[in-house]
Chain A
Amino acid sequence: MNLAVLCSTMRVQMKQSFARPMFRFCLIANPILNTILLYEMYRSAGEENFMAYVVLGAGLMGLWGCICFSSAGDINRERYSGTLALIFATPASFPGIILGKIIGNTLISLLTLGISLLTAVVLYQVPLTLGSPLYFLLALLAAVLSFVVISSMVACLLTLSRKTELYMNCIEIPINLLCGFAFPVSVLPGAVRGISRALSPTYAVELLRMSVWGVNDLAAFWNKLGILLGLTALYAVLSGLLYRRIDRRVRIAATLEVA
């Protein structure tokens, strides 16, 4: 993978994404509205740690929304603007280009966490606590890595189909619910929790919440981090295998362009 390709793709992606009004809405308005919604929900429920549920929840929902509508949606935008075929046929590695796009999008989308935090402080003057800042940073890095890998897998699958818009709409809310962005996974029915446990963002959210409360049980923290990194590695391997396959499939199925 070429570093110049990765960095220039990140730069181009950030410029392109920020120029789109829909992306700016997802990036700025979404976390503000989600923060208001979650604050009102949790205030009535008697919850007092607004950082753990309101700020993190709204920020992560915003982050995932940006990833869905950008990393995934970009495949379709590139397809319709005729550039997907052009980047595919360059000597640079296609998975490398997609990875650059996703990293660019994810980095810019992290702003949603800051916006949620700012909204909660400015609108509600809620006491915001961060129990273990260092563990929080570690959990955040692991969460970003897991989001990058999961988006890469989604983007890869969407290259194969022209129904990208349908799929990206289908994955946004279920992931919010299944991975416990807005409420703990423990409130979900038992069978559904099994699906949650197979999704790496579930562990990312739990780690972030643990570090907001303050990590008292270090063994539990490392255990969850291990599972998160293990699942992320598994997704990365799957992604790699998928990219090998799609390189052939897209040219057989003719899905690089609009007919």
Chain B
Amino acid sequence: MDTVIEVKELKRTYVTRRGFLKKEKRVVQAVDGISFEVRRGEIFGLLGQNGAGKTTTIKMLTTLLAPTAGTCKVLGCDTFGQEKQIRKRINFIFGGEMGVYRRLSARDNLRYFSNLYLIPRKERDVRIEKILKLVDLADRADDLAETYSKGMIQRLQIARGLINDPEILFMDEPTVGLDPLGARMLRDIIRRLKEQGKTVLLTTHNLAEVEELCDRLIIINKGKVVARGTPAEIKGCAQSLEDAYVKLIEGVSA
């Protein structure tokens, strides 16, 4: 299996300035030298507390953020400098209710994004219909997104993330706000993507989800990798993955 994501000694620092006359500089090291590789066809998990650096890592991988130092390669290309070669072949879903045009219908949202992903017109409508059925939005496809429930907006986000049939799908806490049926539907979609040979990089706080879906994972805390391996390897002798996770995080934070 070839490597599709390569991260080596990756760092990202945020610098903010506060104050009017006397500017106070504040530096936050969000990601502090993490390394990992993801192979084609894998479901790879990124776990960690809030503020651990998961979202920053995903943003660097999806070409939205420049790394401060280190290597960040997707499909063999640098995410900062060679992003044009990457963008057509990946997509991402961020959890929550953001990321859709609420004054457009689901169909119009998907049509617009398929244009932005340069999908030929002939292919576009067939693909949209298929995806709408997949995320169970076909019945409400022509209603404005502002009339949708939280879960429906999330499903529209998922549909948007699939619009370009990406080789790698990045998901940042995709099940946040989804009801149990919606969450199960998403897990089924992720499994189906794996069967199709797609790669999924996933961050979540739901450890049962990690155990069920992920082939391998890393746990990060305060921007550093504190554990890596398969769910079974990380669980080790602990009773559950949750116990192992808590032990690891508390051990590092102590």
A interface list, Cβ under 8 A from B: 2, 4-5, 8-9, 12, 15-16, 19-20, 81-83, 85-92, 97, 248, 251-252, 254, 256-257
Q: Which of B65, B96, B103, B112 sits near A254, CB closer than 8 Å?
A: B65
Q: Determine if B121 and A4 form an interchain contact, defined as CB atoms under 8 angstroms apart.
A: yes
Residues of A within 8 A of B62 (CB): 89
Known: A8-B111, A19-B103, A254-B14. A82 touches B87 (CB 8 A): no
Residues of B within 8 A of A4 (CB): 115, 118, 121
Residues of B within 8 A of A2 (CB): 118
29 contacts between A and B (CB under 8 A): A4-B115, A4-B118, A4-B121, A5-B116, A8-B111, A9-B115, A12-B112, A15-B104, A20-B103, A81-B99, A81-B100, A83-B100, A83-B101, A86-B99, A86-B160, A89-B63, A90-B87, A91-B116, A91-B117, A91-B118, A92-B115, A92-B116, A92-B117, A251-B63, A251-B64, A251-B65, A251-B80, A254-B65, A257-B64
Q: Which of B88, B94, B99, B108 sits near A12, CB closer than 8 Å?
A: B108
B84 part of interface (Cβ distance < 8 Å): yes
Q: Determine if A90 and B116 form an interchain contact, defined as CB atoms under 8 angstroms apart.
A: yes
Residues of B within 8 A of A83 (CB): 98-101
- What separation, in Å, do the CA atoms of A155 and B83 have in the docked complex? 22
Residues of A within 8 A of B113 (CB): 86, 90
Q: Which chain A residue shows the least CB distance to B92?
A: A89
Q: Determine if A87 and B116 form an interchain contact, defined as CB atoms under 8 angstroms apart.
A: yes
Quote the shortest CB–CB distance from A62 to chain B (angstroms): 22
B66 part of interface (Cβ distance < 8 Å): yes
- The count of chain B contact residues (Cβ–Cβ below 8 Å) is 32
Q: Determine if B98 and A82 form an interchain contact, defined as CB atoms under 8 angstroms apart.
A: yes
**For residues 118 through 139 of chain B, which have their beta carbon under 8 Å from a beta carbon of chain A?**
118, 121
- What separation, in Å, do the CA atoms of A248 and B65 have in the docked complex? 9
Residues of B within 8 A of A252 (CB): 66
Q: Determine if B117 and A90 form an interchain contact, defined as CB atoms under 8 angstroms apart.
A: yes
Q: Determine if A89 and B66 form an interchain contact, defined as CB atoms under 8 angstroms apart.
A: no
B194 part of interface (Cβ distance < 8 Å): no
Q: Which of B88, B94, B121 sits near A91, CB closer than 8 Å?
A: B88
Q: Which chain A residue shows the least CB distance to B124?
A: A4
* Residue interface bits B1-28, CB-to-A below 8 A is 1, else 0: 0000000000000100000000000000
Quote the shortest CB–CB distance from B54 to chain A (angstroms): 15
- What separation, in Å, do the CA atoms of A81 and B146 have in the docked complex? 12
Residue of A85, A88, A248 most packed against chain B (CB within 10 A): A85
Q: Which of B66, B102, B111 sits near A81, CB closer than 8 Å?
A: B102
- What separation, in Å, do the CA atoms of A193 and B186 have in the docked complex? 61
Q: Determine if A16 and B101 form an interchain contact, defined as CB atoms under 8 angstroms apart.
A: yes
